[in-house]
């Protein structure tokens, strides 16, 4: 088996190569993901609009209170700052000279690529790429992403259980119940993998080797390639666990701080929905709005469509229909998706394009 120390040294020494750039920021993939995001969102909002259309819809659009909309832009800025600080508290321990601005760029790139890829799959690689372009080792960047993912995996299910307890008598839609079961299943699997890789890395590594061996028996032609990947994964799991453990042992308050920032980050997202409703002139229960948004965010986090498009709009139209008048539901859906997804993704797209141009010129 490969020597872990040698692999670790090799991983730290090798910068991002062209093939990594192509796989993470493939222009065709970005364009296709952005196109699908826009098309599905437009179609979903159109369905919500025509299904709930009344003569008061345009009047509701023109009656938006600008003060609340300006406040929402401020909350978007807070969202971006909290997301970047959640990364920066760790990355500055590994790279003391790195500025917060770089973590800000990494965060918005994460949000953009997460928005245009299914299952949020492009978010992590995008963040790693931005950090690496500024001299951060890939392994260090991955450690930061892994620890913050752990904080998210702990927070989201707890928040989801709270929301279900608040809204238990209102969850009648089969689609919502199916998405909730899907969300809990995926979060549980990821959380178990995360915990096993951290506390029992050898067990997790051996499981990877056994799965690869089983796959090699089914597909003999892929046996050697599968074995090499499994060996590499086994070594990586040991390396990640060792560095994570040392980082958290040297700075024991960092993970609780990450959990706190994660909580504030998502509470800010949830509260934004309430502010949007106030801007539309809708007075409703604050806790109920928070609970609904928790469920929507929970259901679409690992959705198979770019940015959870389609699933998010369906969740909004079903769950918010109880407390939002039909005349403003489509306007609310558009504003909610814009502030929570499109505006941050647009900023991220600007950062990604700028970095790609700089990389290409070099």
Q: Which among 157, 249, 231, 221 is positioned nearest to 194, based on CA atoms?
A: 157
> What is residue 207's predicted lDDT score, i.e. its pLDDT?
84
Q: What is the pLDDT of residues 100-116, one digit of tens each?
A: 999 999 999 999 999 99
> What is residue 1's predicted lDDT score, i.e. its pLDDT?
42
Q: How many residues does the chain have?
A: 362
Instruction: Identify the three-state secondary structure at position 183.
Output: helix
> What is residue 294's predicted lDDT score, i.e. its pLDDT?
92
> What is residue 221's predicted lDDT score, i.e. its pLDDT?
81
Q: What is the pLDDT of residues 160-193, one digit of tens each?
A: 999 988 887 667 667 777 878 888 888 888 888 7
Residue 258 reports pLDDT greater than 90: yes
> What is residue 155's predicted lDDT score, i.e. its pLDDT?
94
Q: In the structure encoding, which two tokens stand for residue 118, read together? A: 């299914």
Instruction: Identify the three-state secondary structure at position 246.
Output: helix
How confident is the model over 340-355, as a mean pLDDT?
A: 91
Cα–Cα separations (whole angstroms), residue 227 to 36, 235, 241? 36, 12, 21
How confident is the model over 11-22, as a mean pLDDT?
A: 44
Of residues 236 and 67, more confidence is placed in 67
Please, what is the end-to-end C-alpha distance for the chain in angstroms?
37
Q: What is the CB neighbour count within 10 angstroms for residue 26?
A: 13
- The whole-angstrom separation of Cα 128 and Cα 341 is 20
Burial of 237 (0-12, 13-18, 19+ CB in 10 A): buried
Q: How confident is the model at residue 9 (pLDDT cuts 50, 70, 90)?
A: very low
How confident is the model over 287-314, as a mean pLDDT?
A: 90
- The whole-angstrom separation of Cα 16 and Cα 5 is 20
pTM of the model: 0.84
Q: Which among 178, 183, 187, 184 is positioned nearest to 299, based on CA atoms?
A: 183
Residue boundaries of the structural domains of the chain: 27-361
Return all residues near 20 (Cβ < 8 A) that are at least 6 apart.
129
Residue 247 reports pLDDT greater than 50: yes
Mean of per-residue pLDDT scores for the chain: 84
Which run of H or E residues covers position 265? helix 254-279
Contact 286, 274 (CB under 8 A): yes
- The whole-angstrom separation of Cα 50 and Cα 68 is 26
> What is residue 10's predicted lDDT score, i.e. its pLDDT?
42
């Amino acid at each position: 088996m490969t020597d872990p120390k040698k692999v670790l040294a090799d991983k730290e020494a090798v910068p991002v190569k062209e093939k990594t750039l192509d796989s993470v920021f493939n222009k065709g993939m970005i364009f296709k993901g952005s196109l699908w995001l826009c098309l599905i969102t437009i179609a979903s909002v159109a369905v919500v609009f025509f299904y709930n259309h009344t003569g008061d819809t345009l009047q509701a659009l023109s009656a938006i209170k600008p003060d609340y909309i300006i406040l929402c832009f401020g909350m978007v800025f807070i969202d971006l700052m909290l997301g970047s600080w959640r990364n920066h508290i760790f990355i500055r321990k590994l790279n003391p000279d790195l500025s917060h601005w770089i973590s800000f760029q990494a965060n918005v790139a994460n949000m953009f690529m997460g928005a245009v890829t299914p299952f949020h799959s492009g978010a992590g690689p995008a963040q790693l790429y931005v950090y690496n372009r500024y001299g951060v080792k890939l392994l260090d960047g991955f450690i930061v992403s892994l620890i913050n993912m752990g904080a998210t995996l702990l927070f989201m299910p707890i928040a989801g259980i709270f929301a279900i307890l608040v809204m238990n008598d209102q969850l009648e839609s089969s689609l919502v119940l199916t998405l909730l079961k899907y969300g809990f299943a995926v979060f549980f699997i990821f959380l178990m993998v995360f915990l096993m890789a951290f506390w029992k890395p050898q067990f997790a590594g051996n499981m990877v080797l056994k799965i690869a061996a089983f796959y090699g028996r089914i597909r003999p032609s892929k046996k050697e390639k599968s074995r090499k990947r499994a060996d590499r994964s086994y070594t990586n799991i040991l390396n990640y666990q060792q560095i994570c453990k040392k980082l958290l042992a040297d700075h024991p308050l960092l993970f609780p701080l990450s959990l706190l920032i994660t909580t504030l980050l998502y509470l800010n997202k949830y509260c934004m929905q309430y502010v949007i409703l106030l801007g539309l002139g809708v007075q409703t229960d604050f806790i109920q709005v928070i609970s609904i948004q928790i469920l929507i965010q929970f259901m679409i986090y690992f959705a198979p469509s770019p940015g959870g498009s389609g699933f998010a709009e369906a969740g909004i139209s079903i769950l918010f229909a109880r407390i939002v008048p039909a005349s403003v539901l489509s306007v609310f859906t558009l504003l909610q998706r814009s502030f929570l997804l499109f505006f941050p993704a647009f900023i991220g797209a600007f950062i990604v394009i700028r970095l790609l141009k700089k990389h290409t010129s070099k």
